[in-house]
Each structure stands twice: as C-alpha cells, then as structure tokens.
C-alpha cells in the first residue's frame, strides 16, 4: 500500500486535482475489489502499467476554459406602469324650464283712458267793472295809485307818458285820481286790448 500512496500522489501531480480525484476514486475501488479477490497480477506489474499511463496520455491537461460557461440571463426590470389619466366628466348644461302661461278664455280688459275734459271757456271780462281795474293795479303797483319810481311808468296802472297822452290825459298819470286813471285805462284797453298790461293781464286771466 506504500507504493499505492506514492502512485496516488504522482497521479494528482500529473492529471490535476479534478481528474486525479476521479481517477483516485476509481483506482481505490478497483484496488479494493482486487484485494478482496485473488490477485491476477503482481504489484510490480500494476506499478509498471500505471507509470506507463502518463506517456500514453501525454499532452492531456486540465483546461478550465474548456468547461461550458454558465450564462446568466439578465432579467430586465418590469416597466413601471404609467397611470392613465382619469377623464373629467363634463357637466351637462342645466336647462331652465320655460314657464308656460296658461291660456285664459276671458279676454284681458283694456283700460280706456278717460277723455281729458276741456278747460272751461272763461267768461269775457267786462272792462266796465271797476273791480277788475283794482285787481290790475294791485298787480302792477301794489295798489298805489300815486306811485312814481322814476322808471318811466306812473300811477296805479303804470301808464307810460305816451300812452297816457294818447288817451287824452294831461300832466303826469300819478297826479291824477283813481277814477281818472281807471277811465283812461278803459280807453287804452279799447285801443290796445289787455295786452297793454302784459304779464299782469295774463296772470289775472284777462283776454
């Protein structure tokens, strides 16, 4: 067995670790089988055959590059799902119901405007009534029959000097009496009408 251990060491150096290990196991099993049976050949013949084995397999060496390469498949990461946008609901326009007017059988009464009454026709003013001349003097001069403010108009009826002279008056109207001024006023009204006293005549409704 000493020769066998030496032989194992020689095989390990010759064939490398892996192949030598396999051969050692095989040879060990074979030796066990041989030892358990009657030897068919001597130890010297076995040593001779083993020592001749390296020359027969000369050039055989262990090359790890010849072993098939294990390729690891690269697993691509799963793509991150992109969330789909949630559609925004468009609000429907609210329809405003149109109010329905119920038909009426009875016609709607139409208001008829009442006719505007015509203003009454004023009764003609009688120039012979002295009360009318007192009212006219109150409007023209405040009822002062002797007034003379220096504005060119005189007396209660505010005669101009030319108008006084045209109806036969003499002197200044403010120096004449109320009765004479009314008498001359009636003559002037017959000649020019109530328009001779303008605004006051219109205010009193004289026409």
98-150 pLDDT, tens digit each: 766 655 665 666 666 666 766 555 556 778 889 999 999 999 999 999 999 99
Phi, psi angles (nearest 5°) of residue 84: -75, 140
Instruction: Look at residue 152 and tell me whether its pLDDT is greater than 80.
Output: yes
Mean pLDDT, the chain, as a whole number? 75
Q: CATH says 130-203 is which class?
A: mainly alpha
User: What is the C-alpha to C-alpha distance for residues 181 and 164, in angstroms, rounded to an integer?
Assistant: 9
User: What is the C-alpha to C-alpha distance for residues 175 and 137, in angstroms, rounded to an integer?
Assistant: 15
Per-residue confidence band for 50, with pLDDT thresholds at 50, 70 and 90 = very low
171-194 pLDDT, tens digit each: 999 999 999 999 999 999 999 999
Q: State the maximum Cα–Cα separation within the chain, in Å, rounded to a whole number.
A: 203
Domain with CATH 1.10.530.10 in the chain: 130-203
Which of 18-27, 56-65, 184-193 is the most confident on average? 184-193
């Amino acid at each position: 067995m000493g020769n066998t251990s030496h032989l194992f060491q020689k095989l390990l150096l010759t064939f490398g670790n892996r192949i030598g290990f396999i051969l050692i196991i095989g040879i060990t099993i074979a030796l066990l089988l041989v030892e358990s049976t009657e030897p068919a050949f001597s130890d010297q013949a076995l040593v001779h055959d083993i020592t001749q084995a390296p020359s027969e397999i000369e050039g055989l060496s262990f090359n790890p590059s010849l072993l098939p390469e294990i390729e690891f498949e690269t697993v691509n990461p799963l793509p991150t799902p992109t969330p789909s946008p949630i559609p925004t609901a468009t609000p429907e326009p609210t329809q405003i119901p149109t109010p329905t007017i119920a038909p009426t059988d009875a016609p709607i009464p139409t208001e008829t405007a009442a006719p505007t009454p015509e203003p009454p026709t004023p009764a003609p003013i009688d120039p012979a009534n002295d009360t009318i001349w007192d009212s006219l003097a109150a409007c023209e001069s405040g009822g002062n029959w002797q007034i003379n403010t220096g504005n060119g108009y005189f007396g209660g009826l505010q005669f101009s000097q030319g108008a006084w002279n045209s109806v036969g008056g003499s002197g200044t109207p403010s120096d004449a009496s109320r009765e004479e001024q009314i008498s001359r006023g009636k003559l002037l009204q017959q000649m020019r009408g109530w328009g001779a006293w303008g605004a006051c005549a219109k205010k009193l409704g004289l026409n």
